[in-house]
């Protein structure tokens, strides 16, 4: 089955997606999701473990690709810099923020309604054990990974009401509901990078694990490149699949060597 608009595979069959070839990055630009792709999912946003191997891998991949690498995350750009360092392109906040390796930045204004939404979510979290509020520059996340099962429905109800009241976009991820400024997504950020040096003229490859990464898979397919789904098989616009974070880091190491 293919998506008619992008000609990318859309699979619901176990094992239908092959592993990416190790020479896929030759002549490519590399776009990397962060949580669940480069680092294991943790109980809390601040509980992730980022080691020297990952920081070194990202730095050396960026050099091997002559700068054609960007981290494309739902986290704020500042958070990515704190975990991975700088010297490469980053898009944060689900495509809302962009920074090129030379320091050029595109950053929106803080949205109206965000302070109100954040205050409401914080008040809600006081009544639910395990619900955690993550404040971000252009959005706010309600995490329910550590909460009782009923918290999900109650949280969904509240964030839907707040999205209606504030005009903020509701985006669901892995055990999280985010309310954020509308008007961008990861696919749009990848397309914007691909319009500019050093990315322009290359073929984009995007690795991601979450449903929020499907915009990125669609964008790279439209631009003649390929998406790589990290994790279990599901309906997706990715062309290839890797089992998990460990397989992803191993493939990235092999792909880096293949660029020599
Ligand atoms: O686009 P990503 O880089 O994948 O970021 C998506 C969100 O990741 C973080 O939340 C997720 O990871 C946490 C740590 O493993 C986990 O505790 C949480 O349940 C996940 O939803 C981050 O906190 C969010 O801001 C990102 O939008």
> How many residues in the chain?
260
Q: Are residue 103 and residue 210 in the same domain, yes or no?
A: yes
**21, part of any domain:** no
pLDDT above 60 (res 197): yes
When pLDDT is averaged across residues 233-241 and rounded to a whole number, the result is: 97
Residues 197 and 72 in one domain: yes
- Interface ipTM > 0.90: yes
User: Using CA positions, which residue lies closest to atom 21 of ligand 1?
Assistant: 174
- CATH code (residue 163): 3.30.70.1020
Strands 226-230 and 97-99: unpaired
- Residue 97 shares a structural domain with residue 226: yes
Look at ligand 1, atom 19, and give the residue with the nearest C-alpha. Answer: 175
Beta partners for residue 188, in sequence order: none
Question: Looking at the domain assignment, is residue 69 inside a domain?
Answer: yes
Q: Is 41's C-beta closer than 6 angstroms to any atom of ligand 1? A: yes
Q: Does residue 219 belong to any structural domain of this protein?
A: yes
- Judge if the beta carbon of residue 81 lies within 6 A of ligand 1: no
Confirm if 213 and 33 have CB atoms less than 8 A apart: yes
Report the distance separating Cα 174 and Cα 212, nearest Å. 9
The span from the CA of 90 to the CA of 177, in Å, is 23
Which residue has a Cα nearest atom 17 of ligand 1?
A: 44
Catalytic residue (one of 23, 33, 195, 243): 33
Query: pTM for the whole thing?
Result: 0.95
Q: What is the pLDDT of residues 28-70, one digit of tens each?
A: 999 999 999 999 999 999 999 999 999 999 999 999 999 999 9
């Amino acid at each position: 089955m293919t998506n008619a608009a992008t000609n990318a595979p859309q699979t619901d069959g176990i094992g239908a997606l092959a592993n990416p070839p190790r020479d896929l990055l030759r002549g490519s630009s590399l776009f990397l999701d962060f949580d669940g792709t480069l680092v294991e999912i943790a109980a809390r946003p601040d509980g992730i473990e980022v080691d020297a191997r990952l920081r070194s891998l990202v730095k050396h991949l960026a050099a091997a690709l002559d700068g054609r690498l960007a981290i494309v995350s739902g986290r704020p750009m500042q958070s990515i810099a704190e975990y991975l360092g700088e010297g490469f392109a980053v898009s944060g906040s689900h495509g809302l923020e962009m920074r090129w390796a030379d320091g050029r930045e595109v950053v929106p204004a803080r949205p109206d309604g965000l302070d109100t939404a954040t205050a409401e979510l914080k008040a809600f979290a006081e009544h639910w054990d395990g619900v955690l509020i993550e404040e971000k520059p252009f959005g706010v996340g309600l995490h329910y990974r550590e909460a009782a099962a009923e918290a999900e429905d109650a949280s969904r109800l509240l964030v839907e009401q707040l999205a209606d009241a504030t005009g903020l976009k509701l985006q669901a991820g892995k055990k999280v509901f985010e309310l954020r400024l509308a008007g961008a997504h990861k696919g749009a950020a990848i397309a914007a990078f691909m319009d500019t040096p050093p990315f322009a003229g290359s073929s984009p490859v995007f690795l991601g694990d979450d449903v929020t990464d499907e915009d990125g898979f669609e964008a790279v397919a439209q631009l003649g490149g390929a998406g790589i789904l990290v994790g279990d098989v599901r309906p997706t616009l990715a062309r290839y699949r890797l089992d998990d974070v460990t397989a992803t880091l191993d493939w990235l190491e092999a792909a880096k060597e293949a660029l020599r």
